[in-house]
Structure 1
Amino acid sequence: MPHASLRRSPHTSRHLPAAALCALLAGAVLSPALPAGPAAAQEAPAANTVNAAPNASRTYAPPSFRDLARTQVDTVVNISSTQAPQASGGGRLPEGMDVPPGSPLEEFFREFRNRQRGGQPNGTPESGPNGGPGGGPNGGPGGGPGGLPSTALGSGFIIDPSGLIVTNSHVVADAAEISVTLHNGTRLPAKLVGSDAPTDLALLKVESDKPLAAAHWGDSETVEVGDWVVAIGNPFGLGGSVTAGILSARARDIQQGPYDEYLQTDAAINRGNSGGPLYDAGGAVIGINTAIYSPTGGSVGIGFAIPSSLAKPIIDQLKDGGKVRRGWLGVQVQRVTPDIAESLGMDGTGGALVTSVSPDSPAASAGLRQGDVITAFNGKPLEQMRELPRLVASTEIGRDVPLSVLRGGKQESVQVTLGELRNEPQQLAMSGSSGAPRSAQPEESKSALGLKLAPLTPGLRETFSIGEDVDGVVVTEVDGDSVASQRGLDLGDVIVEAGQEPVSTPADLESRIAKAKEQGRKTLLMLVSRGGDLRYVPLPLDGNKG
């Protein structure tokens, strides 16, 4: 699906490799979901077979969710947020391009501008481009054309009778005003209690003269693939829409953030569903609908919800203090690929490979080193690198945690006291991009594994803006047909280590290559610096791209 996109509801949509994530906002407001108290899914009466002919086939009747829908719909709300106007809206015509009065295009541009700010000629909500309400690009927040405000629409659900409402952060991002519409049509102003962009969660508060129907949290860890799930929302402005499906998969990483662990469902989720609840068959909230994977912007049976096991602790922190505090280790890590595992003599690809350790961090104090592979955190084995950020972030600040580390082929135990993450993006190693072969050959350059290499000289440091704190050999040319090019090595990269040993000259690298071959290695693990960021790159010694 080269043009498939993953959409988020309200305003913003972020993009995935090869496909885009579509927010469920898309100009349609989601309506309330399940009310307080679990409502068991009702089994439809089985087909009457008492008087059936002997050879008549038995008919399977799927479950009915009528009681769940009836009791929970009052807990789901529609959310409308208004963004302050910006000086230069994306929908404005260039200077000198105003349409003359009476021109045949006047009505066209009037409707176009009206749609961009979230309305239609008749005043009903309409989706903006790419599923977002009028405003910023891709339905994102931003002022409307001509300095007019823009509006985003999404969903949410009440978790407390006092008026606490959960939704997605992107539904209310940069909002100057937020309003909530209950299932009975009552419209209430809402205040943002707090939001957390990394997990795309937000908590709102409305004041009501009477207690509101509230949904209750379920445990997403108890739901298994194949179990029934129900979504309630306001897709495309059709409030109170109920859809059902099954849990299709768990722990999906859709590359929207460092803590991705989405539930996947085939229950129909569309634009306007962002922030709405996903229920188990008993009427408990097990997820917050957030994104869909779609080539058209509509549901194709691949929707994603934030699991309640991740969402509830975040919402509890927002409720208590308006912000989220996370544990901090202070390492940059990358995934252990099969090539990296082979070069390190590992049996599997579990764990997180440390590419750098932040100075004065908990990891530095504990003695963690570049090149260590963290294989377990607090007794939990790491099957994948992406598990580490979530485990660290959810662990109590100041707690002493044991780490299992593979260092120099041997397992060691390291005790670390976690700090607090301070408004810093989660540091994960980024894979480099491959570029076309370029050349800047100095004297004394040598070739190896499809690379031309040279010692770092003052001239090369200036040419490639390489810091004085970086040592190694610099790449001056990359063969476009080489495995090095395929793995993303590029002109100006600095090879700092090879085989977990420092290199300072091209001869050092040749020596490491020879040593790895003598040891029977198929790949050589290189530590590469680009723009001051470090990452490990395994290069096959036989030169095959594989």
Structure 2
Amino acid sequence: MQGLWLTILASALLLAQAMTATARPDSFADLADQVSDAVVNITTSTTVAARGGPAPVVPEGSPFEDFFREFNDRNSQGGQGQAPRRSQALGSGFVISEDGFIVTNNHVIEGADEILIEFFSGKELPATLVGTDPNTDIAVLKVETEEVLTFVPFGDSDIMRVGDWVMAMGNPLGQGFSVSAGIVSARNRELSGTYDDYLQTDAAINRGNSGGPLFNMNGEVIGVNTAILSPNGGSIGIGFSMASNVVTRVVDQLREFGETRRGWLGVRIQDVGEDVAEALGLENTAGALVTDVPEGPSAEAGIQQGDVILSFDGVDVEDTRGLVREVGNAEVGKAVRVLVFRDGGTQTLLVTLGRRETAEAGSEPMEKPATEEPQTADILGMSLSALSGDLREQLGLPANAEGLVLMGLDAEGPAAAKGLQIGDVITEAGQQQVRSIADFEGRIEAAKEAGRKSLLMLVRRGGDPRFVALPLN
């Protein structure tokens, strides 16, 4: 019996060793050889305007007087100060097609007059800019050559798991074609952009690595190295690579159109908190709450303020970030089905998507209002005033704006606890418009009669709307 247990134990140890050997490669050398010809160093040159300012003041008779006079004469241009100078910057990139398309970060080439590509072989070629997308910090370049270039394919970033091995390659601190390895430390990281979807890695990434590829073990690009988190500017093992499944959509559009063309739903939204879900009668907090519906696709389709978008084009909406990504990835002009929660039930609406870039370029005119006397009251820890012409002008609101302005606030009251501020404008309460103090008081009574613990209000601050569930107790 003891011999049987020893045999089982030995087999288990051998299996564990085999699994460890499979999970951790003995070397990354074969992978580096496989992809190195497709990774490039990027050098950019930019003309920087000379800094103006007076010449150094040197006391008359100083032994340095002649020296400074000659120095200023050499560096002046007709009395206009120093001549413009050239500034250089370094970055990384990778070839994605045999005819010379190259991917890098937008911030690597932004504002550059000249872009020079250095290949692993030592050959150098000038590059032209095809297109950029500042929202994802991606740029596409093109080099012209009669040679068939080695390139690398994109992989599927969605199947990468925390703990998977990855390898970064690039031009850190000007030390070209350097390789570092690590694991995927986290997924779905968000930094500051609307379309952020970063893989976090502990593979060493430093300045100059920007725009370089992050490879899986099959030699496929699953991320574009973009940023690091560091107190000193050097790698401390927290780097971020824009996920390939975001990058590929951007690259395809930049190659085809020279610009991005993202879908636009035409709504302002916020996440559904537990208090908002309770106030609306929702079972959970999934979805995106519509706070505003300006003129556009959603308004034409019948989507309203207070609707909760539960599904977009057949995909369940978990939160606002998920909805923004789904809409942005959708085709401009596509008719999509949008499932919304409204008045205790659901409705499906058909929305024909617009183009986000076109919508963002538009603006709305504003008019000046007339003067009138406001109504005021203290309710639920808030000093409220109905909008007057003077208040509209002070707050920069259009003449037809309606609602109640928060003029004062009880620091210990429920409104302050919810983050409301002086100057906020309450335009809806209980999903109905409020124009007067009487309207607001009526909404409070209706909510209490319905057994609600909170009152759902639509609050605007600086033109941006959001829903706030204000406790009634």
Which category describes the TM-score, using the shorter chain as reference length?
0.7 to 0.9
Q: CA deviation at 1:414?
A: 0.9
CA contact (8 A) 2:456 2:469 kept: yes
Report deviation, 1:334. 1.4
Q: Per the alignment, do residues 318 and 464 of structure 1 end up closer, same or farther by CA in structure 2, a change over 3 Å counting? A: closer
Distance 2:321 2:257 in 1: 27
Q: Secondary structure at the match of 2:420?
A: coil
User: In 1, distance between residues paired with 2:108 and 2:250?
Assistant: 17
> Residue 501 and residue 240 in structure 1: after superposition, are their counterparts in 2 closer, same or farther (change >3 A)?
same
Return the match for 1:307 from 196, 218, 243.
243
Instruction: Please say if residues 164 and 184 of structure 2, whose CA atoms lie closer than 8 Å, have aligned partners that are also in contact.
Output: yes
2:333 pairs, out of 376, 394, 398, with 398
Task: Say whether residues 1:82 and 2:45 are aligned partners.
Answer: yes
For residue 202 of structure 1, the aligned residue among 124, 128, 139 is 139
Q: Is the 8 A contact 2:90 2:171 kept in 1?
A: no
Equivalent residue, structure 1, for 2:434? 503
Distance 1:294 1:98 in 2: 41
Q: Which of the residues 448, 460, 464 maps onto 2:391?
A: 460
Deviation at 1:297, TM superposition (A): 1.8
Secondary structure of 2:304's aligned partner: coil
State the percentage of identical aligned residues.
Answer: 49
Structure 2 residue matching 1:199: 3-state secondary structure: coil
Shift of 1:87: 5.8
Q: Deviations over 1:77-120 (max 9, x none)?
A: 111222232365xxx7x5466799998xx9xxx9xxxxxxxxxx
Matched, 1:73 2:36: yes
Structure 1 residues 58 and 367: CA distance shift in structure 2, 3 A? closer
Deviation (angstroms), 1:345: 1.6
Q: Residue type matched to 2:440 in 1?
A: L
1:540 alignment counterpart: 471
- Point out 4+ residue stretches in structure 1 off by more than 6 angstroms: 98-103
C-alpha deviation, 1:209, in angstroms? 4.2
Query: Shift in Å at residue 58 of structure 1?
Result: 7.1
Following superposition, the deviation at residue 194 of structure 1 comes to 0.9
Matches within 5 A, 1:214-293: 214-255=151-192, 257-293=193-229
Partner of 1:152: 89
Counterparts of 2:57 and 2:289, CA distance in 1: 57
Q: Which residue of 1 aligns with 2:366?
A: none
2:308 is aligned with 1:373: yes
> Which has more radius of gyration?
2
Whole-angstrom CA distance in 2 between matches of 1:282 and 1:250: 19
**Counterpart of 1:294 in structure 2: which amino acid?**
S
Specify whether residues 99 and 160 from structure 1 end up closer, same or farther in structure 2 by C-alpha distance, changes over 3 A only.
Answer: farther
- Aligned-partner Cα distance in 2 for 1:99–1:211: 61
The 1-side partners of 2:136 and 2:58 are apart by 44
Q: Which aligned pairs between 1:100-119 and structure 2 lie closer than 5 A?
A: none
Q: Check if 1:325 corresponds to 2:288.
A: no
Mapped contact 1:389–1:426 kept (Cα < 8 A)? no
1:269 deviates by 1.3
The DSSP-based 3-state class of the residue aligned with 1:347 is: coil
Gaps of 5+ in 1: 1-53, 111-144, 428-441
The amino acid across from 1:267 in the alignment is A
d(CA) in 1 for partners of 2:287, 2:54: 56
RMSD of the alignment, in Å? 2.8
Q: Is the 8 A contact 2:43 2:89 kept in 1?
A: yes
SS at match of 1:422: helix
Q: Which runs of 5+ in 2 are unaligned?
A: 1-12, 72-81, 363-372
Report which of the two has the higher share of helix.
Answer: 2
User: Which range moved further: 222-231 or 482-491?
Assistant: 482-491
Query: Which residue identity is paired with 1:491?
Result: I
Q: In 2 relative to 1, CA 146–499 (structure 1 residues): closer, same or farther, beyond 3 Å?
A: farther
SS at 1:77's partner residue?
A: strand
CA contact (8 A) 2:374 2:387 kept: no
Match in the other structure for 2:283: 347
Q: Distance in 2 between matches of 1:476 and 1:534?
A: 18
Q: Secondary structure at the match of 2:260?
A: coil
Structure 2 CA distance for aligned equivalents of residues 533 and 453 of structure 1: 19
Alignment match, 1:171? 108
Label 1:288 to 1:99 Cα distance change in 2 as closer, same or farther (>3 A).
farther
TM-score, normalised with respect to structure 2: 0.84
From the superposition, tell whether residues 333 and 102 of structure 1 become closer, same or farther in structure 2 (CA, over 3 Å): farther
Separation in 2, partners of 1:484, 1:84: 53
**Number of equivalenced pairs:** 429
Residues 269, 292 of structure 1: 8 Å contact kept = yes
State the Cα distance separating 1:356 from its structure 2 match: 1.2
Aligned counterparts of 1:186 and 1:413: Cα–Cα separation in 2? 57
Question: What is residue 183 of structure 1 aligned with on the other side?
Answer: 120
Structure 1 match to 2:319: 384
The answer to whether the 8 Å contact 2:389/2:399 transfers is: no
**Separation in structure 1 between the aligned mates of residue 327 and residue 333 of structure 2, nearest angstrom:** 11
TM-score (norm 1): 0.73
